[in-house]
């Protein structure tokens, strides 16, 4: 039987080691996987380091890792890995990127780690055990007024045909909130919702490795997560709404009303 606390320890070790590489290495090669979507030699180094550490303890486990190019399937005992979330930030020297590692089993995420090596912030969670930042318990914002809420988002850089309707939603959220931030690292956006820095986050057409760890951490911090139809199919199409419960109804309704047919 898998011990998820042990899983978390392995994930933390792997995240710290990948973080050291992010801090010590500059990218010498940059390859476009598709327009506006890049991979560097450091991404590959970090991914290899993470997988090596995990395999040394769990050689039988499977991987869904960004730079392997494989596709999400609901398999047991699978690690979902983004070695550098925010690669474009990393390439440009913007110090806002993270390592995201999640463990998926029995059709749900059981443990998750998001590590920002630049400011040494480690967000962690085990299913049913709460969410933590550097060992201290965290919770989502207690704000109940959407108009006082700070919302994070990302842009549909892989799906340019979605830009007009996405900007329609963006403008409506802006009209009904205290502001919007676009940071370029979805895993940290989710971690910031979990820790109360943002009241909400929405983005479309992400990949499982962008959101897996963050989904668990938010839910364990008392937040809510759904897709653009108010359901839980975010792994199949990468459309996600995350929020503090006090603004969930208003915030979700805005996004769902405009984007429900865009998944």
Domain range annotation of the chain: 4-137, 146-259
Q: Are strands 200-203 and 150-153 parallel, antiparallel or unpaired?
A: parallel
Instruction: Give one word for 178, left, alpha or beta, with left for phi > 0 and alpha for psi -120 to 50.
Output: alpha
Tens digits of per-residue pLDDT, 164-215? Answer: 999 999 999 999 999 999 999 999 999 999 999 999 999 999 999 999 999 9
Distance, in Å, from the CA atom of 120 to the CA atom of 134, rounded to the nearest integer, reads 8
Predicted confidence at residue 33, as pLDDT, reads: 75
Question: Rounded to the nearest 5 degrees, what angle is found at the Cα of 222, between the Cα atoms of 216 and 227?
Answer: 55
Q: What residues contact 37, with CB distance under 8 A and at least 6 apart?
A: 157, 158
Burial of 75-86, coded b for 16+ CB within 10 Å and e otherwise, reads eeebbbbbbbbb
| Architecture field, domain 146-259 | 3-Layer(aba) Sandwich (3.40)
Predicted confidence at residue 263, as pLDDT, reads: 81
The hierarchical CATH code for the domain 4-137 is 3.30.540.10
Regions of the chain where pLDDT drops below 70: 1, 69-75
């Amino acid at each position: 039987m898998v011990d998820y606390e042990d899983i978390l320890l392995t994930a933390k070790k792997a995240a710290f080691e990948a973080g050291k590489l992010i801090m010590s290495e500059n990218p010498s090669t940059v390859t476009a996987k598709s327009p506006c979507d890049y991979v560097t030699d450091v991404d590959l180094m970090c991914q290899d380091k993470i997988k090596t550490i995990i395999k040394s303890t769990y050689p039988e486990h499977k991987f869904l890792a960004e730079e392997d190019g494989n596709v999400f399937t609901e398999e047991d005992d699978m690690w979902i890995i983004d070695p550098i979330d925010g690669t474009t930030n990393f390439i440009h020297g913007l110090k806002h990127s993270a390592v995201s590692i999640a463990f998926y089993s029995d059709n749900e995420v059981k443990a998750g780690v998001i590590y920002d090596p630049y400011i040494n912030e480690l967000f962690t969670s085990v299913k049913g055990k709460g969410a933590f930042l550097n060992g201290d318990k965290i919770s989502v914002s207690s704000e109940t007024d959407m108009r006082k809420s700070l919302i994070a988002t990302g842009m549909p850089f892989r799906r340019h045909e979605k830009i007009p309707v996405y900007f329609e939603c963006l403008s409506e959220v802006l009209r009904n909130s205290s502001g919007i931030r676009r940071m370029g690292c979805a895993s940290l956006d989710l971690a910031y919702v979990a820790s109360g820095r943002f009241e909400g986050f929405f983005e479309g057409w992400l990949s499982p490795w962008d959101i897996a760890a963050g989904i668990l951490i938010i839910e364990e911090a008392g937040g809510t997560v759904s897709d653009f139809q108010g359901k839980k199919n975010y792994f199949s199409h990468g459309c996600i709404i995350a929020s503090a419960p006090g603004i969930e109804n208003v915030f979700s309704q805005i996004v769902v009303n405009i984007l429900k047919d865009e998944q």
